[in-house]
Amino acid sequence: MKRLMLVPALVLCLCMSAFAAPVEIELVQYKQEALRTFDALAKKFNETHKNIHLTISSPNEPMTILKTRFIRENYPDIIGIGGDMDYSNFQDAELLADLTGYKGLEKIKKAYIDIIDGLKFVPRPGVFGVPYMANAAGVLYNKDIFDAHGWKIPESWPEFMKLCDDIQAAGIRPMFFGFKDTWTTLAPWNALAVDIAPADVCQNVNLGKTTFTKEYHEVAEKIYAMLKYAEEGPFAYGYNDACTAFARGESAMFVIGNYAIPQILSVNPKLNIDSFVMPGRNDSNHTLNSGVDIMFCVMDSCPHKEAAYEVLDFLLEPENIQAYVDEQNSVPCQTGEFRLTPMLNGMKKYIDAGRMSDYHDHHYPSEMAVDAQIQTYLIHGDINAFLARFDKDWIRYNRDIISKLKNYMAAH
Amino acid sequence: MANENIIAKEKFNWPVTILLLLGLFTVLFPLYMTVIIAFKQPSEMTNSVMGLLSFPETWSFENFREAMRVTDFWRSLFNSFLITAVTMVFSIIIHSLMGYAVARNMNTSKFYRFSYFYIVSGMFVPFAILMMPLVKQTAQLHIDNMFGVIVLYVVFYMPMNVLLYAGYLKNIPIALEEAAHVDGASTWTTYWKIIFPLMWPMHATVAVLTALGTWNDVMTPLVIMSGSGVNTLPLAQLNFQTQFGTNYNLAFASYLLALLPMLIFYLVAQKQIINGVINGAVK
Amino acid sequence: MKSQNERKRTFLMISIPILLLFFAFNTVPLIRGFIYSFTNFRGYGKFDWVGWRNYIDLFTDTRVGNSYWFTFKLALVATILINILSLIMALALNAKIKFKSFLRGMYFIPNILGALVVGYIFSYIFTYILPAITHAASMLASRTWAWLAIVIVCAWQSIAMNTLIYISGLQTVPEDVYEAAALDGATGWNRFRYITFPLIMPFFTINMVLCMKNNLMVFDQIMALTKGGPAQSTESISFLIYNNGMHGGQFGFQSANAVIFFIVIVIISVLQLRFLNRKEEQL
């Protein structure tokens, strides 16, 4: 059936090419779970734009595919990737085009432009991506359990600890961690770190202005303090166990991001979830842990930059953003009024006010395995050894970046 | 013929049979878990022991249908089948020849002894170090496609298979070939007429091991054919895993579907391994 | 004399093209990888030459040191365990048992199941079922015992493959040897010790080498069960090479790691092969 449909389409294409061949734009995006949303967007684009033909692919193992394509020098035109270390590396490898002057950037919230700017190894001028959607992390909680006991959202760290005590006293497990999968340790770590430590801590360490021993001490203490409210032996259970446990009401809270919601709902679609910002500080002046979930970068090698911008314009149209937000429960990076999922109600005022800061681990080199180091610390409990190793390893794993940064700073 | 009659009359070894049946628990229990998970819905997944071991609420093949749809089952199966079958045939031909050349000359020739150790040591190269250079190399040679994947498999499995063939040939007396030589047959003819058929049990073993490795492999097709849109079954099965969520129910259904062809192939090959003996004994 | 030359020529015509193929797709990329080990290459884009820095780092990195210790401990224990068990399995499955095909087929299944299934099922067994029975904490959460859990799963999966190789080895033992032995009164352990085992010694060699190699390169089981934890106690060498070389930006450094690792395993395996080959000749 599909083949038969293709024939007239092909004929149509051939006829049109007699006038002007449409420019081919290929977009590869890394959120495989958003495949259907992107397919729909591509279809809509191609129906409304006759001069450009857009192909969006959402492959499995997207980052491996992108990297191997880069090795082959078989570049797509636009890539949709997360605002993390991969972006930093691609930018540093000079694969991405500078989008300064592209009008769509004006509509993006400044907080997110700053976030991706902070990801650059070296503060070279230029904007190399258009932040599209953000995610937000903090504490997800079971609204039904909270309502039944009349518990309130904590405003500060002491209140949070008090709440945990209350929940435990009521015979309910406050949190489920699932620390067997090392990466899950980063969820509470990041949520605490953005609230307690300065956002540019990594860059300042690189410049030799401070140390992690100094900046992360409180973070490390507090994440350790949370352990006693979790399941027994959290290192035996994985992320999947934690999602299932929270979905089945076996814990009142789950310190994780909105990205876990689909997995939780797949186990229990009726679960009444809401969220709040992790109150890491002792006062009530908090910062939301939010990062760029997907951003679009135009490849430097793309021969049709104008056409690529037209694709970006289309993706940034408010109705298309809203469609994406509705389907993926995401947080848009663009200014303007959008309907968000009610599961993020507790975070909305931070999002609207732009009071957010990026995941610290987006600045950690993955080969340093900070997640495994945190897991090790939580098992041993030796805070000094942990922080000392953090500082020592940091210097080693980042020395190329540090020397690059120092050279750049000396030259500018 | 007389031999076979004796075998048939002999009694079964019941104590061993019973022990093997009891030991089967170690396989059946995980298999049981796989099957029931494949029939359950995500909403039936729990963390309690009894909840997980219980039967699904309904025995519906919906997961299997959905898994087949998501993986584009028949097309992926065809690609996997094609890659596996071609790799297998080339492996049996090329690797047995090399094993023969090595096994028959290793004790007298330095060149063949070196070749043997050279090829066998290739087994220990971590794929991760070869991966990036191979991606580049296959792209430059324009074989970043199924053909390239097959070529790589033939090279990857060469060390193991040459080791196997050379080991097997140690137990096949050289006198057989010498007799043929005296009759004036060339080495090439002798190989195909006498040695190759004698190695059936090993061919079947090599076929099973090579097929198994290629059938389940994700990495090679992923990096070599990335972005080409050609899917093998394991590549398509990546669909069930995203960064923050895995649909185990569909995935398990799909793995069970992928398991069946291999199991059938193995049982067929097993027959070859046993038949080989009888042929050998009759001669 | 003429036929000697013909034989030599045939063997060269067989082996040279095969060696060239192997060189092109195994040695060439290995050399390229070796060259990258002197850079800070991340797999794509620009890179700088860093001289011997990666190698110096390698010998001062406690993480790499720990991974060597863990990998060798695991490989040694798993190789011995797997070989003993699969030899027993092969003898049992080769005996005159009832349901032969069925039993052989069932015991082969662990080898076909994909890593996702094995990881999920065994995580479940170790996390929920075993603690429920033994009232002890999960092995996977224990720095002392997690490696043993990985040994168990490695064994569970790979016994099938080694059994298969032993079974095909047992086919080379002619039936009349047993008959002669029976006449001499050799049965049971003695028959195995003095007749069967010496005859299948080449297959023991093959299995030891293959098993050692597979276990030294353990990766899938670690990803599926512990992801290197708890407290980095189960990070194997391959785990570091893959995770940091591919997903991290450490391709250059991990290439150096892979080069050293390659040299170490080649030395071990060649020693192993030589030792076992000498034993074979003695028997």
User: Is residue B45 packed enough to be buried (19+ CB in 10 Å), middle (13-18) or exposed (0-12)?
Assistant: buried
Judged by a CB distance cut-off of 8 A, whether residue B31 touches chain C is yes
Q: Do A367 and C42 touch (CB under 8 A)?
A: no
Domain shared by B109 and B39, yes or no: no
Instruction: Yes or no: say if A334 and A108 are a contact pair by the CB < 8 Å rule.
Output: yes
pLDDT at B164 exceeding the cut of 60: yes
Domain shared by B123 and B225, yes or no: yes
The whole-number pLDDT of residue C249 equals 73
Rounded Cα distance between B11 and C92, Å, is 15
Sign of the alpha-carbon dihedral angle for A369, A370, A373, A378: negative
Domain count, chain A: 2
Q: Do A366 and C137 touch (CB under 8 A)?
A: no
Q: Do C165 and B97 touch (CB under 8 A)?
A: no
Beta bridge partners of A57: A28
Rounded Cα distance between A346 and A277, Å, is 7
Phi, psi of A11 (to 5 degrees): -60, -45
The whole-number pLDDT of residue B243 equals 74
Distance between A188 CA and the closest CA of chain B, angstroms: 16
Domain shared by A109 and A151, yes or no: no
Using alpha carbons only, how large is chain C's radius of gyration in Å?
A: 23
Residue B43, number of CB atoms within 10 A of its CB: 16
Judged by a CB distance cut-off of 8 A, whether residue A71 touches chain B is yes
pLDDT at C110 exceeding the cut of 60: yes
Q: Place B279 in a pLDDT band, splitting at 50, 70 and 90.
A: very low
Instruction: Say how many CB pairs under 8 Å bridge A and C.
Output: 92
Instruction: Yes or no: say if C203 and C165 are a contact pair by the CB < 8 Å rule.
Output: yes
Domain shared by A126 and A220, yes or no: no
Rounded Cα distance between C262 and C268, Å, is 10
Decide: helix, strand or coil at residue C51. coil
Domain shared by B203 and B251, yes or no: yes
Domain shared by A160 and A129, yes or no: no
Cα separation values, A369 from A190, A233, A372, C173, C240, Å:
14, 21, 5, 52, 10
Residue B65, in any domain of the structure: no
Domain shared by B86 and B178, yes or no: yes
> Which tokens belong to A314?
């289309």
Residue A227, in any domain of the structure: yes
Domain shared by B208 and B251, yes or no: yes
Distance between B186 CA and the closest CA of chain C, angstroms: 8
Domain-ending residue, one of A330, A351, A372: A351
The chain-wide mean pLDDT, for chain B, equals: 87
Closest chain C residue to A404, measured at CA: C48
Rama region for A137: left / alpha / beta (φ>0; ψ in -120 to 50; rest): beta
At C85-104, the pLDDT tens digits run 999 999 999 888 888 888 98
Residue B66, in any domain of the structure: no
Sequence-separated (6 or more) residues with CB below 8 Å from residue B163? B99, B120, B123, C206, C209, C210
At C243-276, the pLDDT tens digits run 887 777 788 888 999 999 999 988 888 888 888 8
User: Per CB distance under 8 Å, which residues of B are interface residues toward A?
Assistant: 42-43, 45-47, 132, 135-136, 139, 144, 222-223, 226-227, 235-236, 238-239, 241-248
Distance between B27 CA and the closest CA of chain A, angstroms: 24
The whole-number pLDDT of residue B283 equals 36
Structural domain including B55 reads 1-60
Domain shared by A249 and A346, yes or no: no
Report the candidate in A328, A32, A373 with the shortest Cα–Cα distance to residue A179.
Answer: A373
Rounded Cα distance between C37 and C47, Å, is 11
Report the candidate in C122, C148, C147, C126 with the shortest Cα–Cα distance to residue C137.
Answer: C126
Residue A13, in any domain of the structure: no
Sequence-separated (6 or more) residues with CB below 8 Å from residue C120? B37, B248, B252, C224
Residue A110, in any domain of the structure: yes
At C152-166, the pLDDT tens digits run 999 999 999 999 889
Residues on chain B touching C95 (C-beta within 8 angstroms)? 13, 16
Residue A3, in any domain of the structure: no
Q: Where are the domains of chain C?
A: 62-282
Rounded Cα distance between A133 and B12, Å, is 68
pLDDT at C198 exceeding the cut of 60: yes
pLDDT in tens, chain A (412 residues): 444 444 455 444 444 444 567 899 999 999 988 888 999 999 999 999 999 999 999 888 888 889 889 988 889 999 999 999 899 999 998 999 999 999 999 999 999 999 999 999 888 899 999 999 999 999 999 999 999 999 999 999 999 999 999 999 999 999 999 999 999 999 999 999 999 999 889 989 999 999 999 999 999 999 999 999 998 888 989 999 999 999 999 999 999 999 999 899 999 999 999 999 999 999 989 999 999 999 999 999 999 999 999 999 999 999 999 999 998 888 999 998 899 988 899 999 999 888 999 999 999 988 888 999 999 999 999 999 999 999 999 998 888 889 888 898 888 8
Q: Do B209 and C164 touch (CB under 8 A)?
A: yes
**Where residue A392 sits, what CATH number does that domain have?**
3.40.190.10
The whole-number pLDDT of residue A390 equals 96
Long-range contacts of A268-274, Cβ-Cβ distance < 8 Å, separation of 24 or more: A268/B43, A269/B43, A271/A142, A271/A246, A271/A247, A272/A142, A272/A143, A272/A144, A273/A140, A273/A141, A273/A142, A273/A143, A273/A343, A274/A140, A274/A141, A274/A143, A274/A342, A274/A343, A274/A345, A274/A346
Please give the share of chain B, as a percent, with pLDDT higher than 70: 93
Residues on chain B touching A248 (C-beta within 8 angstroms)? 46-47
Judged by a CB distance cut-off of 8 A, whether residue C6 touches chain B is yes
Rounded Cα distance between A22 and C118, Å, is 48
> Which tokens belong to A302?
């793309």
Residues on chain A touching B47 (C-beta within 8 angstroms)? 241, 244-245, 248, 250
Domain shared by B7 and B125, yes or no: no
Domain-ending residue, one of B60, B83, B107: B60
Tell me if the bond preceding A125 is cis, omega within 30° of 0. no
Pairing of β A273-276 and β A253-257: unpaired
Sequence-separated (6 or more) residues with CB below 8 Å from residue B207? B88, B91, B92, B269
Record: fold of C62-282: MetI-like fold (1.10.3720)
**Chains in contact with C, where contact requires at least 3 CB pairs less than 8 Å apart:** A, B
User: Per CB distance under 8 Å, which residues of A are interface residues toward C?
Assistant: 63-64, 67, 70-71, 85, 89-90, 92-95, 180-183, 233, 235-238, 241, 365-367, 369, 372-373, 375-376, 379-380, 396, 400
Sequence-separated (6 or more) residues with CB below 8 Å from residue B12? C96, C97, C98
Rounded Cα distance between A65 and A55, Å, is 16
Residue A4, in any domain of the structure: no
Which residues between 23 and 62 in chain A have a beta carbon less than 8 angstroms from any beta carbon of chain B?
28, 32-33, 57, 59-61
Domain shared by A280 and A325, yes or no: no
pLDDT at B282 exceeding the cut of 80: no
Domain shared by B161 and B211, yes or no: yes
The whole-number pLDDT of residue B278 equals 42
Closest chain A residue to C44, measured at CA: A71
Domain shared by B87 and B214, yes or no: yes
Pairing of β A130-142 and β A253-257: antiparallel
Residue whose entry in the numeric block shows the structure tokens 């039967």 = B55
Helical segments of A18-103, H only:
35-48, 62-71, 85-92
Structural domain including A340 reads 22-135+292-351
Rounded Cα distance between B231 and B240, Å, is 14
Among the partner-chain residues C10, C124, C210, the one whose CB lies closest to the CB of B187 is: C10
Domain shared by A220 and A254, yes or no: yes
Domain shared by A401 and A266, yes or no: yes
Report the candidate in C140, B233, C238, C119 with the shortest Cα–Cα distance to residue A179.
Answer: C140
Residue C280, number of CB atoms within 10 A of its CB: 15
Sign of the alpha-carbon dihedral angle for B38, B40, B45, B49: negative
Residue A5, in any domain of the structure: no
Torsion, CA B173, CA B177, CA B178, CA B183, rounded to 10: 150
**Where residue B256 sits, what CATH number does that domain have?**
1.10.3720.10
Side chain identity at B227, as an amino acid letter? G
Report the candidate in C253, C263, C265 with the shortest Cα–Cα distance to residue C64.
Answer: C253
Torsion, CA B240, CA B266, CA B89, CA C15, rounded to 10: 110
Residue B190, in any domain of the structure: yes
Mean pLDDT of B46-73: 88
Domain shared by A73 and A183, yes or no: no
